[in-house]
Structure 1
C-alpha cells in the first residue's frame, strides 16, 4: 500500500515551518538530546507549544562559569578578606562563585516539571594539579570521598612499552601535601552537596539521579536512587561529626584498560562515620564500586580495583571535619 504523493507547495505554503508538523513526543526527544538548561530556556521562548514541551524535558544539564571580576578594582580590605578566606578557612573562594546567578538559575529550573536526571557543573576550586580524579557520595549509609593523585601520567602505546621508573617515594612532605589536598577536596565535596540540596528540593517528586561536578571534570558528587535523594532532603540526616581515612601509595602503576602508567599514585579514601560504626579496611569503597561507574571514571575505578587486590593501606588517617 503506497501513501498518496505529497502536494507541491507554492506561494505561502512553501514557508511552512516543518518542525511544527512534528508530534510533541518527537519534539521532547529532540529537547532531551539538547539537554542544556540555558538553550532549553531559549527554546521555550519560541512559542507556547515549545514552552509546554520544553518544560517536560526529563534530563537537564546546568553549567556555571567562574565569576568574572577585575582584581585591579578590588580595594585592600576585600583583597585581604579573600586572602584570609582562601588561606585559612579553606572554603571555595567566594569571588569564584556567583551565588546570585546560581539562585537565579535554580529559580528558572522550577518551571521544569518532570526532571528525572540533573547534572550541574560548578567552577573548580582545587589548585593541586596532582589530583587526577575524585568521587563522592553522601547519604544515610554512605558518606565517602575517594581522591586519586599521581606525580605523573604516561600514555602507553605499542611502540612505547618501556617506562622508566621515577623517584616517587612517599616522602613525609608528599604525604602531608596529599593529605591536606584530600581534606580540602572532601570539604569542597561536602559544600557541593549542600549546594545540590537547594536544587533537588524543587524536584523531589520526579528526580531519580543528580550529580554536581567541577568544571575541570576531575570529580563529582553523585546522588543515585530515590533513597539517597530522600536522605539529602531529610533534615534529620546529618553528616557525622567524625571520621577516618586510609591512604594507599604505589610508586609505579600500570593500567592496561586506561592504557597509561601512573608514577607516584596515591589513593585517599575519607569516610565520615558515627563513633559506634566499625572501621572498614577499605573505608567502604568496595561497596561503592559495586554500584557501577560512568565512562569518565574508568581510570579511577581501574586504579581502585588494582590497589585493593594487591596492596594494603600505607597509612590510616584520623579525620576531624569540623577543623578549619
Structure 2
C-alpha cells in the first residue's frame, strides 16, 4: 500500500502596517506645524523619505538659540560671551517737558561727569552671532563646543521653503539689569523702527505690606502725602513727576533704559536681514528671548518694506540706525496692579519716529499700548497712560 506524501504548507507572515502611510500629507503637515521646533523637525527628517520631503513645507517654525557667539569668539571658537559695542550718547536727548517750567540743563550734568559709567551701562551686544546647536558634527558648522556643532539661524532655516510664521528665541535678554528691576520692551520694525514701547520699574513687590520709607533712596515719594491702609500706601501726586526725579538720578536711569532697549532692538533687527531676504513667504517674524525682556515683531507689510527699502546701518556697530524719535513718558512712584503686584518707580515710554508722527495722526494710546505688552504689563500700561504725559525728543543715532 502506497502512501501519499504531501508537501508542507508554506506560511507567509503579513508585513506590519505603517499607520503613518495611511495619513494624508496635509494631516502630517498639520502635525509638523504644531511641533514647530526646528530641532525636533530635524529629527523628523531622518525618520523616512516621506518625512524628509514634507518637513521643508512646514509654515510655522520656532528656532531656540542655544548661545550667542561674538565675532571675537567665532575666531577663537572657545567662548559664548557676548561682545559689546559702546558709543557716545551725550547730546542725544532734547527734553520738551510740557508743563514743567524747569531748566533741564541737569541732563547735561547727568550725562557729563559720569559718562564712562553710562557708556558702560549702554554697551549692547550688537556684534554677536546667534547659533543653534545641531548635535553632532557637520561640514558647515560655525563653532564646535563640547561635541555640538553650532549653526546660525540663517543656515538652519535654508531648507525650509514655505515659512509663514517664524519665532526666534534667544537664551536671555541682552540687557543686564539688577535683580528685582523690571524692564520690558516691544519694538516693531519695517526698514527702520516703526514704534517701541518700554515699561520699567526699579523694583517689583509681590503682596508685601511696607511703609513708604522702605522705598530706599529712590526719592520719589513724600511720606506726608501717603494714606495708610491694608494695601500699599497710595501717593496723591496728581500724576506729576516729583522734583526728586531729576535730583536723585531717576531721569538718568530712564535715559539708560530707553537707549539700551533701542540699541538691543536695532541690533536684533540688523541680524534678521539675511533671513528676511531668503524667506519671501514670511507673514510674521518674532525675535524674543527666554527671559521675556524684549520682543521684536515684523508683519508682512513691514517685512516687504525691508526688502524694498534696505535698512540704514549704524556706522558705530552692527545694528540698524535709530531715526530721530518723538517719545511720551508716563511715571508713577508706585503702581499697584489688580493682581496685587506693586511696581515701584513705574515708567512707560511710547516711542515713534519723528517723521511718522508728523505724517500720521496719533493712534489712541489705550488701543496701541495696552496690546503691546503681555499681561499683567498691558494692564500696567493702561493705568500709566491715565496719568500726566511728558514729551521727549531724541536725535538719530
Normalized against structure 1, the TM-score is what?
Answer: 0.75
In structure 2, what is the equivalent of residue 274 of structure 1? 355
Are the equivalent residues in 1 in contact too, given 2:62–2:166 (CA < 8 A)? yes
- Cα distance in 1 for partners of 2:121, 2:205 equals 35
Q: Is the aligned partner of 1:320 residue 2:395?
A: yes
Are the equivalent residues in 2 in contact too, given 1:246–1:268 (CA < 8 A)? yes
C-alpha deviations, 1:244-302, integer Å up to 9, x for none? 3222211121222x55221221112332223982798x897556348x45xx7122321
- Cα distance in 2 for partners of 1:46, 1:275 equals 51
Q: Is the aligned partner of 1:230 residue 2:304?
A: yes
In structure 2, what is the equivalent of residue 13 of structure 1? 15
Are the equivalent residues in 2 in contact too, given 1:155–1:260 (CA < 8 A)? yes
Q: Is the aligned partner of 1:209 residue 2:290?
A: no
C-alpha deviations, 1:211-258, integer Å up to 9, x for none? 11123122211112x2122112222665663113222211121222x5
2:257 to 178, 181, 191: 181
Provide the alpha-carbon RMSD of the alignment: 3.7
Alignment: residue pair count: 292
Closer, same or farther in 2 for the Cα pair 1:65/1:56, shift >3 Å? same
Q: Show structure 1 runs of 4+ deviating over 6 A.
A: none
In structure 1, what is the equivalent of residue 40 of structure 2? 39
Are the equivalent residues in 2 in contact too, given 1:131–1:147 (CA < 8 A)? no
Are the equivalent residues in 1 in contact too, given 2:84–2:127 (CA < 8 A)? no
C-alpha deviations, 1:14-58, integer Å up to 9, x for none? 5x4433332222211211111101211221122221012211111
Q: Tell me the secondary structure at the aligned position of residue 155 of structure 2.
A: helix
In structure 1, what is the equivalent of residue 204 of structure 2? 153
C-alpha deviations, 1:70-111, integer Å up to 9, x for none? x9xx99xx9xx9577583883316467559578643133132
In structure 2, what is the equivalent of residue 252 of structure 1? 334
Please identify, of 82-91 and 258-267, the stretch whose mean Cα deviation from structure 2 is larger.
82-91
Normalized against structure 2, the TM-score is what?
Answer: 0.63
Are the equivalent residues in 2 in contact too, given 1:244–1:271 (CA < 8 A)? yes
Which sections of structure 2, spanning at least 5 residues, go unmatched?
A: 1-11, 87-118, 133-141, 144-149, 221-244, 313-320
Q: Tell me the secondary structure at the aligned position of residue 277 of structure 1.
A: helix
Q: Compare the two structures and name the one with the higher helix fraction.
A: 1
Q: Tell me the secondary structure at the aligned position of residue 204 of structure 2.
A: strand
Q: Tell me the secondary structure at the aligned position of residue 112 of structure 1.
A: coil
In structure 2, what is the equivalent of residue 111 of structure 1? 159
Q: Tell me the secondary structure at the aligned position of residue 57 of structure 2.
A: coil
What does residue range 41-56 of structure 1 map to in structure 2 within 5 Å?
41-56=42-57
- Cα distance in 1 for partners of 2:328, 2:85 equals 30
- Cα distance in 2 for partners of 1:126, 1:25 equals 42
- Cα distance in 2 for partners of 1:235, 1:132 equals 31
Q: Is the aligned partner of 1:90 residue 2:123?
A: yes
Are the equivalent residues in 2 in contact too, given 1:143–1:273 (CA < 8 A)? no
Q: Tell me the secondary structure at the aligned position of residue 317 of structure 1.
A: strand
Which sections of structure 1, spanning at least 5 residues, go unmatched?
A: 1-9
Q: Is the aligned partner of 1:304 residue 2:381?
A: yes
Are the equivalent residues in 2 in contact too, given 1:269–1:283 (CA < 8 A)? no
In structure 1, what is the equivalent of residue 93 of structure 2? none
- Cα distance in 2 for partners of 1:87, 1:153 equals 25
- Cα distance in 1 for partners of 2:265, 2:197 equals 10
Please identify, of 190-199 and 135-144, the stretch whose mean Cα deviation from structure 2 is larger.
135-144
- Cα distance in 2 for partners of 1:142, 1:254 equals 31
In structure 1, what is the equivalent of residue 175 of structure 2? 126
